Each structure stands twice: as C-alpha cells, then as structure tokens.
C-alpha cells in the first residue's frame, strides 16, 4: 500500500456504490486478479462477472457493489439469492494494493445490510481468503458460523444471521 493509501483518512475516501456497466473492465480485472491457483472451481466460468446485470440485478434481492477510491474501482462484492431465505456472498475482491485497509469490511457491511433488509436468514460465503478473517468479520456483523461443507473441492462456510441478536 502506498503512503497515501495507508493514510489514516483513506477509508474516508472510499465510496461503496451499486455496480454500473462502466465498471465492467475494473470488475473483470479484480475477478481475474483474485483467482487463486488450485482453488478455482472447474465449473466456475465467471459467467456472472460477464453478465452482472443479469446475475445480480434482475430479481430485486440480489445485488452487486463496487468500492471506489478517488474514482478508481478497488473492490467488489455480490449477493445472490441461493434459496428463499439464503443469500450467497460472492466475488468479494479487493485490489492487492488496498488489502488490509478496511475496504473488505466496508463491502461486507454493505452486503450484510442488504441481507438484513431483505430478511435473509442464512448467508453462505465462498472462502477464497483467510477463513479466520472471514469469521471475524461475520461475527462482528452478527453472523454465526454454522457449518463448513466441501463443494467441488472447495470449502464453503455457511453462516446464520440471527435477526433478533442485539449488537454489543
């Protein structure tokens, strides 16, 4: 992270907003840059990234956001309906230069607020990043890890949101 990016006020410059088709190039770059060798599901074609509007913006309960700093897209996250009361958080990516800056937390906060608004009871999260960090972030927002399953050779963490839990 550069000196200007490590500035204590860097998060003040972060804007999390809905995806716009003009973000497509940056989103595709984040997607490709975030692929981990050996952990890519062979069935993951990236079709949702090529058609974000169709995959995340067509049913009213799914959504896709980007994080911008000074006009540059530096992160992304999507929420898709997996089952009636279950959302799946997908494609959480933060540009390598901005990792550890709090942008992932800001994106997760936005996605979780969306899940609460749409009264999802469960959230699933693909763990292509450190699962201890994911658990910490989800705990912070009121989610509890309920189980871990293997899907196509990858770990999938399932979290449950207790809508009635009071934040401490």
The pLDDT, as a whole number, for residue 4 is 41
The token pair that represents 108 in the structure block: 């997760």
Does residue 89 or residue 144 have the better pLDDT? 89
Q: Is the pLDDT of residue 2 over 70?
A: no
- Interval 63-70 mean pLDDT: 97
Residue pair 149/158 in contact by the 8 Å Cβ criterion: yes
| pTM attached to this predicted model | 0.80
Q: Which residue has the higher pLDDT, 163 or 144?
A: 144
Q: What percent of the chain has pLDDT over 90?
A: 37
CATH architecture of 3-161: 3-Layer(aba) Sandwich (3.40)
Residue 145, class by beta-carbon neighbours within 10 Å (0-12 exposed, 13-18 middle, 19+ buried)? middle
Question: Of the candidates 106, 87, 120, which has an alpha carbon nearest to the alpha carbon of residue 14?
Answer: 106
Token duo for residue 74? 């530096």
Q: Is residue 23 very low, low, confident or very high in pLDDT (cuts 50, 70, 90)?
A: very high
Strand 154-161 and strand 122-126: the pairing is antiparallel
């Amino acid at each position: 992270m550069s000196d200007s990016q490590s500035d204590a006020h860097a998060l003040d410059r972060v804007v999390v907003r809905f995806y716009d088709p003009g973000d497509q190039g940056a989103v595709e770059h984040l997607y490709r840059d975030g692929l981990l060798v050996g952990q890519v599901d062979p069935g993951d074609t990236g079709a949702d990234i090529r058609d974000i509007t169709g995959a995340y913006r067509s049913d009213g309960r799914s959504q896709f956001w980007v994080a911008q700093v000074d006009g540059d897209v530096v992160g992304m996250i999507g929420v898709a309906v997996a089952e009636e009361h279950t959302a799946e958080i997908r494609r959480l990516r933060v540009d390598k230069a901005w990792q550890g800056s709090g942008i992932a937390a800001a994106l997760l906060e936005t996605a979780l607020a969306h899940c609460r608004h749409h009264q999802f009871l469960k959230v699933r999260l693909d763990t292509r990043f450190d699962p201890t960090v994911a658990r910490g972030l989800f705990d912070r927002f009121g989610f509890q890890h309920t189980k871990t399953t293997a899907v196509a050779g990858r770990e999938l963490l399932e979290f449950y949101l207790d809508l009635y839990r009071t934040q401490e």
